[in-house]
Every structure is written in structure tokens, then in C-alpha cells.
Structure 1
Amino acid sequence: MSSRASMRWAAAGAAAAMLLGLAACGGDKATYEVTVDDENIDKLVMANQPESPYWFPEDLLAWTPESDADLDYNVSTVPLAERVADDKIAASNETQNDDTKVMAISIMNSSTSGNAPHGLNSSDANTFTYWQYVDELVYWGGSAGEGIIVPPSPDVTDEGHRNGVPVLGTVFFPQDASGGKVEWVREFLAKDADGSFPMADKLIEVAETYGFDGWFINQETEGEDADDPLTADDARAMQEFMAYYKAQSPDMRIVYYDSMTRDGGIDWQNALTDENAMFMVDDEGDPVADEMFLNFWWTEDELADQDLLAASAAKAKELGIDPYSLYAGVDVQANGVYTPIRWDLFSGADGVTHTSLGLYCPNWAYTDAGSLDEFHENEASLWVNADHDPTAASKADSEEDWSGVSTYVKENSAITALPLVTNFNTGSGYNFFREGARISQMDWNNRSVADILPTYQWVVRNGDGNSLTASYDYTEAWYGGDSIKLAGKAAKGAETTIDLYAMDVPLTDSTTLTARVKATAETAVSAELTFDDGTTATVEGDRKAGGDWGEVSFKVKDHAGKTLSKLGIKLSASEDGSDYAMHLGNLTMRDG
């Protein structure tokens, strides 16, 4: 699998003047101006910039936290959030289910090397916004020329954890043609006399030190032309390596890619078979890897009659393996939603999926785009459906039609406790705003400061006369780089409701809810509450939205004792307008 992507839009203008501040020890901060052009922007922003790490096996063996000069910058500080239980979130459409999970193997940075831990002055970044459909994210990287063991940059882990998604690093043994070396595999699998695997111990130490959740093992080095090619002994060593890893750290995840088989050769099965089952369970039936990512060819016409995913599910049940710990690989790196997929092989006639879904390089949405708006359009088509509405069931009629992920997978949420404070910040922008005022005109990205974004993108219900649509708007924000914009035709007094968040939060006498809003016409704003008992309530705001940012409060404590399961906003403009717009810049819910 490839490890690179390309940037698609400009990082900065032809020239930019930046104010840089430096503070000497014990002295005042001095400010000076420097002009930056296209030729030296990269040099300037990376000067003295910490870098996210990457290693070859021998380098990792020599690594220690004490010797890591950039350690403080590369540690994720956000704990993995608890997610709402599946049975507490209602399905958005009739084809969603609780069992099917999603693994995203994504190129979050454009190369293995040269990555700043917390972004740069560029809006050109894969600031992913559909975490609600992902159960596990693999930070894809590694190359024969840079390093083959790559932990996630901390901004990715921060954002994943904030959304309740475990984030894994990658161990990538390239194919021979891409520079793979048998000695790297053997160094990695070397066992000490005491039965320990030093590299396994290092992988655990790195993940615990940096604060991420495990590793994806991608062993594709054939070694066919090597003097000592890989054999069944190496396959057995891989099995023992993963079993040792899990014994040392049971909560640390490990995922195996369907590549090397029990004889040590590379022979993609595209299924769980007798050739690769040893990497999921040993001879005694004890578990080895947590999950397996199945190669992509199960969807090819020449293999269709083997119904490989149904066969994988049957094999898993025979071996005592959860079929949904198998991820059917779909390679969308090149063609995204134009990738032909035999969805009829992914699910049975009853609509029940045989396995979980593994998307390889959903970062297509980013690399195919020329702007942030195009990026979000691509993401909505890939993760939701052509209508960009998760309430629409959209099973493909043919393999030329893309079934959005929301067709099979229910939305999830990491809002299980208060406070909830969100500025709908996607983690990048063309400006930076603070309290509604633009304080910087420089492009930027930093996934560490991205907020929990709406669970439902987008569910908008228009009353008669309204035709409003929702989007992220990078020209207005309360804090950060963007806000949610509801725009289109509005009829006087007609209501539009936008569903925002699924949650599992008890309301108390001290619970407060506020929103920061502005609108092109005076607008009544209400909070739409759905409770876990199925009842609903509309809570009117204490003021109307106007032309400037204002805070609207909602008296939700009147519903103390109930548990909130969904939160939305309802609006009603005071006059007709063909180009009406309301911006939602902040939502804050807390106790006390």
C-alpha cells in the first residue's frame, strides 16, 4: 500500500508579512517584521520546528524518551473519550446497524518525514471531519527512504481521542520493488534468549509515551530474491511477536494486514482463510491480533463467485473470532466515490454486512480537493451519500454507485459528560477569529484545537417556504477558523431545524446551554431537545439573533432529571429573504 499523498492547494500567498515575537530570558518580548515569499515560506515555518518521529528498526531500538529532544511536543495530551453506547443512539436510516465498524487507514500528513506536531501556517491539511463514522484510525505512513515505523503525529491523536476514536501508528515493511529489505523484517522479529521481543517492548513504550493506542502491522516484503528468503519460521515469529505484545500490554491494540501467510510468503487472501488465520488465533484457539484488515480484491469480478466476505464471516465463527473484527478493505485512494465496489458482496440479501469496513486512504477527499469547501463536499459524498443527508438510505443499485458509509454505519458520539464547548472549529482556516473578531489573516491548521463537530452532517428539516442548507463557513467564526452557516431562502415565520449532536447527558438544576449566533435578519432561535425516553422539548432562546454576534441562552434546567440524547437548533426568520444566512459560532453546555 502506498504511503504518500500530494498537497493540492496553496499554503500561502505570493508574499506575506508576519510579525514574529521573541523573548529573551528574563527580558521583554521584542517584535519585528519579516517578509516571506513562496521560496522561503517552508524554510521559515520549519526553522527550529519540532518534528514528528519516524524510525527504521535499529533506530527505534536505540530510542529512549530521555534522548528524544522533541518529546514534549509529540505527546498527545487528550485522553481517549468514552463514547455513547450504541443502543442509546437511534439509527438515522433503516439500513444502519450497530455491528458494522469502520477502520480508516488515512494519510493524515503528506509524507513520513517533515511533519510539525501541531500544524503550520497553511490551510492545506487533512483536517478530517467525519469521526462519528470511524471506530479506529490508522495513521498511515512509512517509506524505505525515510523510515518504516511511524507513530501518529500528536495533533491527529488529540483529535481522534477527543472524538472517542483510538489512533494507531504504522509498521510498514515495503514490497521488494519499493525498497523493502528482509533484514528489516528479521530485525523487527528478533527474539532474545529470555523469550522477549525487544521491538515489541519498544512499540509498547513508544505508544505509552506518546499517548496513542497501538499499531498496524503491514508486512509486504516478499524477500524472494534474498539469499535467505522469508519462510514459515518467520511467519511463526510474527505470530509469537504479536502474542507477546498482547501479553505485555493487553489494552494496546494491534492490527494485522492480510499479506504474509503461514509459509512466510506474501499472498493476499482477501479473506480470512487457513493461510492467514494463525495471525488471529493460535493452534490452541487463543487470540493473537485484535483485528485483521482484508486485502481489496474481494470486490473484483474474477473473485466474486467465491463470496469471500461471507466465507470470511463463516470462517471467523468457526474459529471463535468476531466477524466484525475483520475489515473488508476498500481502496479509495485514487478514485474516491468513483471506485467500483460490489456492495452486494459486502452485505447479504437481508442487508446485514458480513464484516466491518476498512477504508484505505479516505484522505482522497482532501487530495482531490482544491479548497476547503471542495474538501468538505468530497467528504460528505464519501462518508454520507450523494445527498449529503444521513437520513437518506442510499444502497447502491450497481457497483458504479457509491454507497456512503452512513448507509451501513450508525453515527456515534463522544459526548457522555459535560461540559460541551464547541466552536465548530474544523482545525484549519484562512483566518483566525477570537470572540467574532478576525485577529489573523494567515492560513493555518492545527488538529489539536479542532472541536467535536456535529454528529449529523447534515440533517436539516425545513418548514414550508424555507430552503436552507448547512455548511462550514470560513469567512465567519466566533473562535477559530469557521462556523456553521445555514443559508438559502427563508420565509417569514417558517421554521428550520438542524440536528447537531447525539449525546448521553443527564440534565440537572444547574445545567446551562448557550449559543453564539448572528443572522442577516432578526431570527428567533430555540433549542430542540430529544430525551432518552423518546420525548422531545423545544426551549426558546432568551433573545433573538441579529446582525452581530450575540449570546442566546436556553433554560434547559426546567428539564432536570431527564437524560438528553440529541440536541439541535431551530430558527425562524422575522422576514422573507432569498439570500438569508444564520451563523452558529459556539455552543456551550455545562453544569454550574
Structure 2
Amino acid sequence: MIQRHPSAPSRRTVVLAGAGTAAALLTPGLTTTAHAAAPATDRPCASYWFPDSLPAGTPGDGIVWRSLKAWRPETDPDLPFNTASVPLADRFTPAPANTTARTDQARITSLVAFGNTAGNPSQGSATADYYAMNHWAYIDELVFWGGSAGEGLILAPNAPVVDAAHRHGVPVLGTVFLPPVHHGGDLRWTRDLVQRDAAGRFPLAAKLVEAAMAHGFDGWFLNAETEGGDAALGAEMLAFVTDLRARSDAAGLRITWYDAMTVKGEVGWQGALNAENAALFREGDSMFVDFRWTPGTLASSAENAEAVGRSRYDLWAGVDVESDGWNASVDWDAIIPADRPHTVGYGFYRPEWTRSHLPEDRTPAQFHAADQRFWSGRSLDPARPDRTDPWRAPATAVADRSTVDRLPFATTFNTGHGVRWYENGRVASDAEWNHLGVQDRLPGRRWVVRTEGRRPSVGFDFEDAWRGGSSLLVAGDIDAPVTVELHRTRLPLSRRTVVELTHRADAGSGPVTVELAVALREPDRAGDPVAYTYIPAGELRAGGSGWTTSTLRLNSLSGTVRALGVRLTAAGPVRWRLGALAVRDRAETTAAPTGLRVTGASLGADGTDLRLRWHRAPGAPRHYELHRVLPDGTRRFLGATASTAFLVPGLRREPGEKAARFQVRAVGELYTTSGAASTAHRW
């Protein structure tokens, strides 16, 4: 068992409704969390339920007790705001950046609490201080972690998280949490979950599948930790999981079982795959092995998995990073030994430590710096890992993956949060924001930099952008050419293929010569450098024309683009900013959405909240952007979403305004913008 640190800031604390006190941090397994409840609101939030029966008493402020058994998607007013829109992308695995990363062995799952169980906004919020998960290339599965006895035990992922994960090829699971008794757990909720109907079927298994399909996520993480069960209950749980497995297979969903409840119906964390939980593992896609594992129990677990015809990498060895992050004490050789095949996969519990351990006045840039340290390692470059670093960062052990395999492809290096919103290099809104659903496909390896001279800093920057909230900034004194690797790709070339770079030199930069780096083949071996062809993209000078778009034709090349990057040459200080990268073989037109309408209005302390809906635009729009049209005809940016529903919060009447007017536009994969659908709300 991993040592807990109750004195450290932790979201493992459970707020019990009506009690007003936090449960002690004593459980040896996984517990889940809630901050102080959000204020009551009609604003849509992520869905959460109890299986059937509700707690005694009255829910806390901002909490609504709901029964999943009674839930009906057609009567859920928040479902349009909670439905993911981006399909799960296919992934491929390029040759790893270093010789220690394995392509076909251990993978990673992450259990992340993005917010409270109750009051977790459906469409982001007005702050840049958010765990904007972005190192998707190294993980195989994301668990949307949450649930508490005072709020609800079954938690559906919100749409922005699912859309960002799907864009990078990562499935997302909701959580079913049956808490320990000392965290408010009640065995009746376990019995509710596995209840049968008159025909002997499991109605809650059907509801879990219905909820996942309606919301657009990929399955469930099952965590049964309520003590007091017996063999009969264990048999019913196994039958329930078997039924859920059959239904999930038919729907294309996944199941991960947590090592807590055994086939005997008791809660007994094994820290292993053994006879106590093997039957439950066999009915799932994977199992999260409790933190009390040892080198011996992981080795035997791997053997036991293979003995029943399963991969050893269907097991996730729990790695608790909630309190200590990269300072956590982990026996890495037990999980991912360097001198033999990996033993099992592994699962990070609460990697959002990269944000939560920072001071309260943290900035997005500080978060991304810490997040890169966590995922890439102390060297901050996957191609040159620091072998002395006791933290074995994922980039040093697990091969990255990519979804950039078709045209058109474009990115503005938007991480899904920011201190402003930019459109075509201009500030469209000076309000902070977060919404992972509009996060771009980001480079998987951050940051591979090849140079014979001084290495500049490379990272996402929030002080300026071409579109969205961030751009890529390369800064430092350069005394030799610098190649910054960006995306690993599988992009077919034609005679019409064009690459566009939107970039500029900031104030304080000397002249910088820019070239596009294009690779047409993979390295022969892991860790070998990529063989690039360099295509001139011009010389930029600070104080010039600002943002410049260089259009580069690739008709001298043929085959498939395997990697994209840039090479910078300068002598002295450089501050070069890349705002957008696009690869296309034809122009893009984006059709407009239709049917924009107001579906609800409610008056709150800070103004009127309006619910807007519209019909999806033809084709496959990347996202939608909403504006308010002011009385003088100018537009005010309101937000962006991949969904077809949006809440405008805190709306106030402008002087002389008889009706508030709104527009929504579809944005294509190349960031072309459609015509507008319009509506108005009369005051």
C-alpha cells in the first residue's frame, strides 16, 4: 500500500451531505472526492446519479440527487450539453523517440478528477486555471474520476473532456463508485446496482450502457468498495458484470474493474490478479491493481493473466501521484523493468497534481511546464531522457501515438484554455476561459529539439496566439540551426498538397530564417534521428508585418509525410512564434449550422442565463463559435464548443437594446468559418 499524506492538499476528502464534515483519509483503496458544493444553478453540469435509491435527508446546496434507474435521456434537459461530438480517432505508433520506450508493452491509464461530482460544468468555465490534459499520446484510457456518497455514485464524463480525448484517440470511461462505509457507503447501493427485474435481467447494466451511448463516452470503471457483502452478493456482482460485458460488447464499450471487491462479495484489496478477482477481470477489458502490489504480486499477476488467455498489459498497476507527483516513491523495475519485458501496464491516480501542487495564483504556463516535467521527464526532451532521473517519465518507457493520418490537418496549438481568446491574431475576448472540447491535436513528443548549439526553450505560450488561447513559442539565443519536431503523421502527398505556416518574430527577436521540416520515412530504429527535407519558409524580422502565413507547395515530394517540424536559423536572440500549421490538398468550404434558437432562460444574481441549441452543420465541422451582435453592429465573442448546445451565462441588457441577438458559425478542420445562423432573445 502506498503511504498516504493526510496533511497534503487532497481532493480525496469526501463531503457527506448534511454532515458538513470530511471523512478521514484512512481508506487503503481508492476513494473519491468532492469540494464544497457549487451554488444552486440551472446551468448544465456533468451527469451523476445513484444507482436507484437515494440517501436519507436533504442534498447539500447545488447538489441534485438522481436515480440512474429512473433516468430517461429524452427527458434530460442537460443531455444536449453533455453529449460528446467527436468520434474516437484511430491511432498509430511511430518509431519511438528514444531506445527505452516500448511500442507493444506497458500502456497507461489515468484516473483524473476534473472537478466536483456535482457542479462540474458541461462546457468549461470562465477561468484559465484548469487541468487541461494534453499528453494524450502516452495514455490508452482515461477514467473520469469522481463520485461521493453525498452527491452521486455514478459519474458520466463531460463532453469537453471526451471530445479532446477522442480527437487524440483515447477512450474515456465514466466511474461507478460504491464507497467504503466510513466514507458514507451503504451496501444497499451495491444491491441496487446488481438488482434483477422480474425476468431475471439487470436493469442497471442496461442503464449504464444507455447512459454511455447517449453521452458519447466509451464505457465504465467499476469500483465496488462497500464492505459487508457475502458470497451471494459476490455471485450477483459477477453475474451483473457478465451481463454488462455482453451489453458493452454489443455497443462497443469498455469495462475496467478495480481490485477491491472479490468474488466472495467481500472488500479485500489484493494488489494482484488472483483467484479472488480473476473471474471479474475476465469479464472486463482491464483491471486496475490496487496500490499494495509488490514485485512478486505483479509478476504472478502477469502470469495469471496469460494463463487465462489475456495480455499481461490488460492489468494496470496503481501508481499514486496525487500527493507527490514525480517525487512519488515507485518501484519502477517491478512494473517496467529496463532489462526485460515490461511486467504489466500502469495507472496514474490523480496526475492533475501537476496543477494542484502549484500556488493558487498559478498561470497556464506554469501548469504546462510542470505537466511536461511529469510526462517527458527532467530533460524535457523525449529524445534525450535523463537516465539519472528517479522519476521514470512516460516518455522514457512508453511509445507515443498519433492520430494525424489524413488530410486536411490543421492545428493552432490551442491547449483548451487561455487568458484571452484570439481570432486571426487579434483579441476577440479578454476573458479567461477553459473548454477542452476545442483543444487542438497537439504534438505528442514535447519537445524534441535537435541542434549542435544552444537549445532554446520551446513551449505553449498564452501571451499571444493566432486562434484560440495559445501558440507555440521558441525563445533563446541560437548559435546553430535548431530543428523543433512537431507532429508524427501519416499524410498522403499529392501534386496539390500545400503546407501553411502562420508565424511571426516577436519584439526582441533578431532575424530568424524559417524552414519547414518534412520527413518521408520513419527512422529505422527507435531513437534514431528523423531524416528531414527542409523547405524554405522565409526570413522573419521583429517589428515587421506581424503574423505572416507562408504557403509552401510540396509538389517536389512524393509518398507519405511521416513527420513535420520546423528548422530555425539565427545568430543571437530569437523569439519565434508559430500560430498555426495546416496541411491540405484542396480549399475548404464550411457549411453553416441552422435552427439556432433559445430553448430556456433563467434569471440569476449576475444576469440572465440563456440556453441555445442549433442543428449540426453538414459535413464534419471541428467546432462552433458563438457571438453576440451588439446594437452598433459589432460582434462580441461568447465562446466555442464542439456540441450543438451552449449556455450564455450572466447576460445583461445593453443600453437601448430591445432584443439580444446571437450568431453561431461552424468552423472547419482548416479553421475556415461558415456563414451564421442567427436568433434573438427579447427583453
Shorter-chain TM-score: which interval? 0.7 to 0.9
Structure 2 match to 1:296: 291
1:239 matches 2:225: no
CA distance in 1, matches of 2:242, 2:42: 40
1:353 matches 2:347: no
Secondary structure at the counterpart of residue 255 of structure 1: strand
Match of 2:567 among 562, 570, 581: 570
- Matching residue's letter, 1:212: F
Map 1:66-465 onto structure 2 (within 5 A).
66-84=74-92, 86=93, 89-98=94-103, 99-109=105-115, 111-223=116-228, 230-250=229-249, 251-281=252-282, 288-298=283-293, 303-304=294-295, 307-348=296-337, 350-369=339-358, 370-394=362-386, 401-464=390-453
State the superposition RMSD in angstroms. 1.9
Unpaired runs of 5+ residues, structure 1, are 7-41, 224-229, 282-287
- Matching residue's letter, 2:494: T
1:545 matches 2:540: yes
CA distance in 1, matches of 2:468, 2:124: 14
- Contact 1:118-1:446 within 8 A present in 2 as well: yes
Kindly provide the CA deviation profile for residues 377-409 of structure 1, in whole angstroms up to 9, marking residues without a partner as x.
221121111111111344567xxx211111210
Identity among equivalent positions (%) equals 36
TM-score normalised by the chain length of structure 1: 0.85
Kindly provide the CA deviation profile for residues 246-293 of structure 1, in whole angstroms up to 9, marking residues without a partner as x.
212312101000001121111111111111111123xxxxxx111000
- Matching residue's letter, 1:100: A
In the TM superposition, what is the alpha-carbon distance from 1:482 to its structure 2 partner? 0.9
Structure 2 match to 1:4: 11
Kindly provide the CA deviation profile for residues 487-519 of structure 1, in whole angstroms up to 9, marking residues without a partner as x.
01123xx31110011111211112111111111
Summarize the Cα distance change of 1:169–1:395 in structure 2 as closer, same or farther, 3 Å threshold. farther
Unpaired runs of 5+ residues, structure 2, are 14-37, 53-66, 524-529, 587-683
- Matching residue's letter, 2:255: I
In the TM superposition, what is the alpha-carbon distance from 1:125 to its structure 2 partner? 1.1
Summarize the Cα distance change of 1:533–1:339 in structure 2 as closer, same or farther, 3 Å threshold. closer
CA distance in 1, matches of 2:41, 2:175: 27
In the TM superposition, what is the alpha-carbon distance from 1:533 to its structure 2 partner? 5.7
Kindly provide the CA deviation profile for residues 230-251 of structure 1, in whole angstroms up to 9, marking residues without a partner as x.
1122222222112111212312
Kindly provide the CA deviation profile for residues 310-347 of structure 1, in whole angstroms up to 9, marking residues without a partner as x.
11111111121210000111010111011101112113
Secondary structure at the counterpart of residue 458 of structure 1: coil
Kindly provide the CA deviation profile for residues 445-478 of structure 1, in whole angstroms up to 9, marking residues without a partner as x.
11111101111101112243x4311011110100
CA distance in 2, matches of 1:217, 1:186: 14
The answer to which of 246-255 and 134-143 deviates more is 246-255
CA distance in 1, matches of 2:392, 2:386: 6
- Contact 2:178-2:226 within 8 A present in 1 as well: yes
Match of 1:475 among 463, 467, 473: 463
- Matching residue's letter, 2:533: T
Summarize the Cα distance change of 1:434–1:349 in structure 2 as closer, same or farther, 3 Å threshold. closer
CA distance in 1, matches of 2:416, 2:198: 48
Summarize the Cα distance change of 1:533–1:151 in structure 2 as closer, same or farther, 3 Å threshold. closer
Higher helix share: 1
In the TM superposition, what is the alpha-carbon distance from 1:195 to its structure 2 partner? 3.2
CA distance in 2, matches of 1:385, 1:142: 31
In the TM superposition, what is the alpha-carbon distance from 1:49 to its structure 2 partner? 2.2
- Contact 1:541-1:553 within 8 A present in 2 as well: no
Secondary structure at the counterpart of residue 488 of structure 1: strand
1:60 matches 2:59: no
CA distance in 1, matches of 2:436, 2:151: 24
TM-score normalised by the chain length of structure 2: 0.74
- Matching residue's letter, 2:129: D
Summarize the Cα distance change of 1:546–1:64 in structure 2 as closer, same or farther, 3 Å threshold. farther
Secondary structure at the counterpart of residue 48 of structure 2: coil
- Contact 1:271-1:308 within 8 A present in 2 as well: yes
